[in-house]
Structure 1
C-alpha cells in the first residue's frame, strides 16, 4: 500500500490525462497572458512590428486567438467532436483551459465541461467500460 495514494484514484486514466493537459495548457495560457498580452511595455515594443520573430510573434498569435473568442470556439468544436472521437477530448480541454484564461470564457467553459464529462464516459481504448451496459 502506498503512503501517498493518487489524489484522483477513482477517475479513469483518460480523465486524468485530460485534466493534466488542461492544467498544463492553462498554465501556459496564464504565462502568455501575464508576460506577452497584458504588459503595456510589451504592447509598445511590438507596436511597430507585431509579426516580428520572437516574443512579438507569440504575442500577435495570442491576440489573434483572442479575437471573437476564436480559441474558445475551437475548443467547443473539438469537445463536440470528442464525443465521437475520444482522442480529441484532451486537446479540447487544453484549448478550453487556455480560452478560459485568454478572455474566451463563453465558449471555453462549456467546452471544458463537455470534454471532462465525455472523458468520464468510456475507456481509453474506445470500448465501453465494464460498468456500462452492453448494447
Structure 2
C-alpha cells in the first residue's frame, strides 16, 4: 500500500553545499513537493481550491529546525504530520528522517481566504483531509 503522507528521496550533489552537506533551503522544496503530492492524493490542488472548495489558501509562515546534517546520497523520508487546525488556519509539520532518526523538523502555516480575500473558515472537506494526517512522531525541544 502506498503511503501518501510521506515522500522518500535520495539527496544528490545539487541538494548539497560544496562540502556535501544538504543545503538548508532544499528542505522547503521537499516540504512543498510532499504537501502537493499529499493534497493531490486526496483530489485537492492548492491552485484550484477556489473552484473546488470556494477558498484560497495562503502560506503565512514557515520554519525548520535542523538537528543533524544530511549528506550526498543519504536517503531521507519526509513525513507530513498534523501540526495545528484552527478556525481559519492550519499548519502542517514535516518530519525528515534518515534510517528512522529525525534530522530536520519543518512547518508551514496557511490561512484560508474567500475569493474576495476575506478571512474564512477551513472548509469541512479540507478539515477532514487534514485530520487524516498522523500526529507528530517526534518532539523537538525549543531552540533545537
Q: Give the alignment's TM-score, normalised by structure 1.
A: 0.26
The structure with the largest alpha-carbon Rg is 1
Structure number with the bigger relative contact order (C-alpha 8 A, sep ≥ 6) is 1
Structure with the higher helix share, 1 or 2: 1
Q: Give the alignment's TM-score, normalised by structure 2.
A: 0.25
Structure with the higher strand share, 1 or 2: 2
